[in-house]
Amino acid sequence: MIFITAKFSVRPADAGRWPDIVADFTEATRAEPGCLWFEWSRSLADPTEYVLVEAFRDDAAGASHVQSAHFRAAQRTLPPYLTATPRIVNATVDQDDWSLLGEMAVD
């Protein structure tokens, strides 16, 4: 799978509304056949920073995502709400779901 984590620095005036601002983009991405997950979290240390954790089945699914109409719309509509270019980690991982964290196993 393609595993992606991206950090978004949102303008302070818009940080509380970010989930609503990205709602359509999030919903459309989650509906893509190759999307395994697409989850937003807000930083506890910096309330203007959101972290997106996403995964796609394979290279073809990732390519389909970035070529989609909703991704292209997000490229146009989201940057005005940001204070900086998002930062990203993108890796291909040989698995198709989350692994268990053995060091914190729950009986």
Query: pLDDT at position 96, please?
Result: 92
Query: Please, which residues have CB within 8 angstroms of residue 18's CB and are 6 or more apart in sequence?
Result: 8, 10, 40, 42, 50, 81
* Rounded Cα gap, residues 65 and 72, in angstroms: 9
Which segments of the chain have a pLDDT < 50? none
Query: pLDDT at position 9, please?
Result: 98
Query: pLDDT at position 100, please?
Result: 93
pTM of the model: 0.93
Query: pLDDT at position 3, please?
Result: 97
How is residue 82 written in tokens?
Answer: 């940001």
Query: pLDDT at position 71, please?
Result: 97
User: How far out from the chain centre does Cα 1 lie?
Assistant: 14
Are 49 and 8 within 8 A, CB to CB? yes
DSSP label at residue 48: T
Q: H-helix or E-strand containing 51?
A: strand 49-56
Query: pLDDT at position 15, please?
Result: 98
Q: Give the chain's mean pLDDT.
A: 97
3-state helix, strand, coil in the chain (%, to 5): 35, 30, 35
Query: pLDDT at position 18, please?
Result: 98
